[in-house]
Chains A and B, each alone.
Chain A
Amino acid sequence: MMAAVGTWLDIGPTTQIEAGTARTLPVEGGEEIAVFHTMRGEFYALVNKCPHKAGPLSQGIVHGDTVSCPLHNWRISLRTGEAQGEDKGCTPTIPLKLDGGRIFLLREAVIAPAHAAAKSATTPARAA
């Protein structure tokens, strides 16, 4: 499913993120990550920064597979990190997988989000 190879970092059970919300994961010396759980039960991870004015995407309203930034209402795709509609910009995504009810992030991408930005869109992970 996931093309990415590397070490997977266990960040805890899926139950700690309510559907329709996101929670954050600060990275020492790196970019804070937002982990999203959509109403449809998918999980995504993105750098917690809107491409517009760096607003914390984790605090936005999650609808479908997008989040609306809390600062200026830009709509960002959780799959690709791309701004939707007329707006242009992209937030790096972090490869994520679910296994045994736990969330895993690709360690290499967590500590080097800029590197992960070069990778293509992530596939959604659905809760089991």
Chain B
Amino acid sequence: MNAQSGFAGPPKVKERLVVIGNGMAGCRAVEEILERDPGRYAVTIFGAEPRVNYNRIMLSPVLAGEKTFDEIVINGQDWYDDNGITLVGGDPVAGIDRKTRTIVSASGRVEPYDKLLIATGSDPFIIPIPGNDLPGVVTFRDLDDVDKMLAAAETGGDAVVIGGGLLGLEAAHGLSLRGMKVTVVHLMPTLMERQLDEAAGWLLRQELESRGQTILTGANTGVIHAVEGRVAGIELEDGTRVKADIVVMAAGIKPSTTLARQAGLDCERGIMVDDHMVTSDPDILAVGECVQHRGLCYGLVAPLWDMCRALADHLTDAPSGYEGSVTSTKLKVSGIDLFSAGDFSGGDECEDIVMRDAARGVYKRLVLKDDRIIGAVLYGDTADGNWYFDLLRKEEDVSDIREGLIFGQAFASGGALADPNAAVAALSDDAEICGCNGVSKGKVVQCITKGAHSLDAVRSTCKASASCGSCTGLVESLLSLTLGGEVETGPSTMCKCTSFTHDDVRRLIVEKGLREIPEVMQELHWTTPDGCSSCRPALNYYLLCAWPGQYVDDQKSRFVNERMHANIQKDGTYSVVPRMWGGLTNPRELRAIADVVEKYDAPMVKVTGGQRLDIFGIKKEDLPAVWADLNAAGMVSGHAYGKALRTVKTCVGSEWCRFGTQDSTGLGVKIEHMTWGSWMPHKFKIAVSGCPRNCAEATIKDFGIVCVDSGYELHIGGNGGIKVRATDFLCKVETEAQAMEHCAAFIQLYREDAHYLERTAPWLERKGLDWIKAQLFDDPETIGRLAARFRFSQQFSQDDPWAQRAAGDRKDLHSHLAQVRPLSMENA
């Protein structure tokens, strides 16, 4: 390369190394080279910023006021001087001429090179939306950006940070500490979704919200608004507006490749380099965030150190080669411990080990494949992050320490203690088992030997594991150690995702005030990241029942029928059942139904057992239009698809029937108006018969009323399904109003107590008729209180879901993404 280096004799002329970029990668590369061969190169570094080399990843603490600029300088001016490095600051390179092997700077300075190193890093990704160039819109990349943010923060006010990734959250944290009211707008549903799974993302969100930040996820910024030429706020695509005195764009970075592209070097997303960081021109090298190596671009600092080593080895004739990096992430927000490494997306051959400790706010998840750790997410306790990361990078076989792995290095490395039972056995008698209730091992063992032979028995006697439940595993170990194989197992758990029963979960939701599905999963130590198709719908119902009017229904945790508000059929089409109050209809409704059948070519209409009409064969795309037509005739959803109030079946009663004793039809209509729309543990059917001949079959319904001359007999827990069960007689009341009050109270008791997917018949047999009677009648005020709670929750559920969809709500559920026509290349 250097023509003169081969000659013997007088002063050896140094090769000229020109570095474009005075950032972390450029300077680190120079440091590595100097370490290997200090006399080999005459180095000139060009930097766009007019300052010495500093640690860019520490800008967050500078913004937050935890560090000063001086504290984050890596190499001061004396380093450049001592090593004979020429620093050209504040004069960015404008072009590379590969023929003459020179570069030219923005100010016109021409510098020849023998070797050129491109370390231009990355540029912030600017979202292409109107207003993105307004004064007050800043990025978070260099010290100038920090200065702009600090200037804005001086006067307080509102800040919007677009992007809920690592950088965005650090910016938000800094601005928040500087006294601004911060809103984070994130496109994806989970914060830091590239590093965190949903559970950890939720914990992080809770913590940030508790610190006063507003977090909007699934939020797409549409436009940045201005007032008098300066940023004033943003508007999301859904129309939400957020006020802002400053908008920080932290939506991602892209490799800075402009110079390399102009010079004709091979580039894809980044500048293409080989294992020695050499570009498509053998005299030009590149390193850092601007490069693409083996198909990957990195946005973190750790890979950079490895790249610089390989580069320096190559430039000093001792090639080693860079083979790519496994990266880990820590969030630099004080007070939040968060660690993520590797691949935690899971998969068929992967196993999850999850540990949740609600009391300490800890979530740990390890992903194993072939007995090796391939991913780790830690929240709240990151002490073992480095150990896991080490095991991950070294691809160590962890099968020997697997049992205790999740408890960390201290526990897992304890040799024989790696077996949890052995570890518990090794504990001393005064070792604390349950931190919440201060119960020692000795006490638990004592209570087991005195007859508490099950987890529940231990919980109810010495209180161990009765609060947060995080020591359940320890108590179970003690049970099996003390009793051998004689542990009594309690009622079965809700599903394989949890060790709690339905009753536990329902009770704890209320006791602990749990308000969202991820919160329940975290607090109750769910062993899967996002539940399963059994527990998700159950939790959704339990929360809906516990917090009426507050809980926002989670549509993705609903079975298809409840999500689509129609019944799916075997061919994937739907059937539609409009409500017919008490089984009554009229010409207008019948005409509307007939019109729908013709208009949408429904192949079948059937009279149901619940006294209404079922229209079959409707496509999901046509549902909103069908509903609009039915709504127009005054009909609403019949909830024939729901774990909900289905029908109130009636006979004609005293108005027409010669045997009728009361107005059973009228009462049925009133009851249906009171109860429609309510979500239940399972489907719920009511009937009102006008006399003991019971033409409405009230004695095989969940709640049945049989009218008699002297009043109304109330029956509960009937079922006409797989296992026919006649109702039990509950009581007799004198007035319609009393009948309705009892109906509401019984429904609410069922709603608040039964397990999800448990009909009233098995619920009644499990709890016993006496228990139900005691609940309702022991305290004369209970009926009124239950009925009041039912009516309260009804004000939020009697909103016709069909009308909402017909008006355009959740169009995505009813439309296709696109249409593919194979004969053309286009998708319509």
Q: Across the two chains, which residue of chain A brings its CB closest to B822?
A: A111
Is B827 touching A9 in the complex (CB atoms < 8 A)? yes
Alpha-carbon distance A82/B347, docked complex (angstroms): 12
Within 8 A of B (CB), among A35-72: 35, 39-42, 53-56, 59-65, 68, 70-71
B142 to chain A, nearest CB (A): 23
Is A71 touching B189 in the complex (CB atoms < 8 A)? no
Q: Give every chain B residue within 8 A of A7 (Cβ-Cβ).
A: 825
Q: Across the two chains, which residue of chain A brings its CB closest to B554?
A: A20
Please encode chain B, from 522 to 545, with 1 for each CB lying within 8 Å of some chain A CB and 0 for all others: 000000111111001100000000
Q: Which of A16, A61, A127 contacts B556 (CB 8 A)?
A: A61
Is A15 touching B187 in the complex (CB atoms < 8 A)? yes
Any B CB within 8 A of the CB of A30: yes
Any B CB within 8 A of the CB of A87: no
Q: Give every chain B residue within 8 A of A71 (Cβ-Cβ).
A: 568, 570
Please encode chain A, from 2 to 18, with 1 for each CB lying within 8 Å of some chain B CB and 0 for all others: 00000101111001111
Alpha-carbon distance A63/B537, docked complex (angstroms): 12
Binds A, one of B673-681, B737-745, B812-820: B812-820
Instruction: Count how many chain B residues have C-beta atoms less than 8 Å from C-beta atoms of the other chain.
Output: 51
Is A126 touching B345 in the complex (CB atoms < 8 A)? yes
Q: Which of B198, B572, B812, B821 contacts A40 (CB 8 A)?
A: B198
Is A26 touching B819 in the complex (CB atoms < 8 A)? yes
Q: Which of A18, A26, A65 contacts B816 (CB 8 A)?
A: A26
Any A CB within 8 A of the CB of B197: yes
Binds A, one of B435-443, B557-565, B623-631: B557-565
Alpha-carbon distance A107/B820, docked complex (angstroms): 10
Alpha-carbon distance A127/B193, docked complex (angstroms): 8
Within 8 A of A (CB), among B780-827: 812-813, 815-823, 825, 827
Is B345 touching A23 in the complex (CB atoms < 8 A)? no
Please encode chain B, from 179 to 208, with 1 for each CB lying within 8 Å of some chain A CB and 0 for all others: 000000001111001100110000000000
- Identify the interface centre among B190, B817, B825: most chain A CB within 10 Å of its CB: B817
B132 to chain A, nearest CB (A): 16
Is A79 touching B348 in the complex (CB atoms < 8 A)? yes
- Identify the interface centre among B344, B345, B558, B815: most chain A CB within 10 Å of its CB: B345
Report how many A-B pairs have Cβ atoms within 8 Å. 147
Q: Give every chain B residue within 8 A of A64 (Cβ-Cβ).
A: 346, 528-530, 532
Q: Give every chain B residue within 8 A of A15 (Cβ-Cβ).
A: 187, 220
Any B CB within 8 A of the CB of A96: no
- Identify the interface centre among A17, A35, A59, A107: most chain B CB within 10 Å of its CB: A59
A5 to chain B, nearest CB (A): 15
Using known A-B contacts A30-B822, A111-B822, determine if residue A24 contacts B817 with beta carbons closer than 8 Å.
yes
Any A CB within 8 A of the CB of B252: yes
Any B CB within 8 A of the CB of A118: no
Is B531 touching A18 in the complex (CB atoms < 8 A)? no
Any B CB within 8 A of the CB of A110: yes
Is B556 touching A65 in the complex (CB atoms < 8 A)? no
Is B812 touching A16 in the complex (CB atoms < 8 A)? yes
Any B CB within 8 A of the CB of A124: yes
Any A CB within 8 A of the CB of B50: no
Alpha-carbon distance A12/B559, docked complex (angstroms): 27
Any A CB within 8 A of the CB of B218: yes
Is A21 touching B822 in the complex (CB atoms < 8 A)? no
Alpha-carbon distance A26/B816, docked complex (angstroms): 7
Is A20 touching B347 in the complex (CB atoms < 8 A)? no
Is A12 touching B572 in the complex (CB atoms < 8 A)? no
Any B CB within 8 A of the CB of A80: yes
Q: Across the two chains, which residue of chain A brings its CB closest to B824?
A: A28
Alpha-carbon distance A79/B252, docked complex (angstroms): 27
Q: Give every chain A residue within 8 A of B347 (Cβ-Cβ).
A: 65, 79, 124
Q: Give every chain B residue within 8 A of A111 (Cβ-Cβ).
A: 820, 822
Is B533 touching A12 in the complex (CB atoms < 8 A)? no
Is B190 touching A19 in the complex (CB atoms < 8 A)? yes
Please encode chain B, from 325 to 358, with 1 for each CB lying within 8 Å of some chain A CB and 0 for all others: 0000000000000000000111110000000000
Is B820 touching A61 in the complex (CB atoms < 8 A)? no
Sample of 12 further A-B pairs with CB below 8 A, known A23-B817, A26-B820, A39-B198? A9-B827, A16-B817, A20-B189, A25-B819, A25-B820, A40-B346, A55-B572, A61-B537, A64-B346, A64-B530, A64-B532, A126-B345
**What are 7 sample pairs from A and B whose C-beta atoms fall under 8 A apart?**
A7-B825, A15-B187, A18-B218, A19-B556, A25-B818, A63-B532, A126-B193
B: residues with CB less than 8 A from A are 187-190, 193-194, 197-198, 218, 220, 252, 295, 344-348, 528-533, 536-537, 555-561, 563-564, 568, 570, 572, 620, 812-813, 815-823, 825, 827
